[in-house]
Amino acid sequence: MNIVLLGPPGAGKGTQAASLSESYHLQWISTGDMLREVVATQGDMSEMIRAIMDKGGLIPDEIMLQMLSNRISIESKGKKNFLLDGFPRTLEQAHSLDGILKDQNLQLDAVIHIQLDDQHIVERISGRLYCADCGTGYHTVFHPPKQAGICDLCGSKNIVRRSDDSQSSIEGRLREHHEKTAPLLPYYRQRDLLYEVDGDGRVDVVQGRINEVIASFAANTFAGREKEACL
Ligand code: AMP
């Protein structure tokens, strides 16, 4: 089962992807995390990528496609199913993803869209924190660490904000989302791949909604494939 997780910035894609990948044994591929790793290496492209991310812009498609096709080809050699978080973000990326999957003889089973309105997004992003040592996510209001400033998981005191969670960056990210990513919804709806999930509410409540969606399409998809295999 291969899944794309779509949604505006701050909708909770990363948080949900972390638990979904564990529950369903999916390889979690987050293009945002891949880019943050590139920035951290301080290599040739890191300055350019950091500057775009800090403004809330999108990294050019050619760079993203190269990155993603390398990663999918590695995962498919290991016969892993994947959960894509943060890709595709443009129609061009969606078309290229179709090509990459076809070349690897893979198929997309579902696109889950976590919906959240702009007001909730700003609230969520402006309180977002993460542990710079182990990556665990927190929120000042909705999910603070049990002990202020200390990571529940690894005990690190390195709890920080993402550099692209500033007010000006949030505006840029929302603009990019509405202009470039929202057109993916009709694209996947037309192909009967799109499942909408309300992203408002506690993490476990949203997770329950996603689980219901996965149960519904998994039943249809696998029943369909078994039928095809019998023909
Ligand atoms: P995320 O962690 O998914 O919120 O992504 C953080 C930032 O990384 C985005 O605001 C973009 O600047 C960049 N980014 C992540 N994925 C993509 C993508 N598929 N295409 C272009 N830029 C991306």
Are the CB atoms for 116 and 104 separated by under 8 Å?
no
Q: How far is the CA of 105 from the centre of ligand 1 (A)?
A: 26
Predicted confidence (pLDDT) per residue in 17-30, tens digit: 999 999 999 999 99
Is 230's pLDDT higher than 70? no
Mean pLDDT, all residues of the chain: 90
Judged by DSSP in three states, 33 sits in: helix
Does residue 173 have an active-site annotation? yes
Among the options 13, 50, 71, 124, which is catalytic?
13
Is 31's pLDDT higher than 70? yes
Does residue 55 have an active-site annotation? no
Does residue 124 have an active-site annotation? no
Predicted confidence (pLDDT) per residue in 67-94, tens digit: 998 888 887 777 778 999 999 999 999 9
pTM summary value: 0.87
Q: What angle do CA 43, 47, 49 make, to 5 degrees?
A: 100
The DSSP result for 111-151, as a single string, is EEEEE--HHHHHHHHHTEEEETTT--EEETTTB--SBTTB-
Q: What is the pLDDT of residue 227?
A: 53
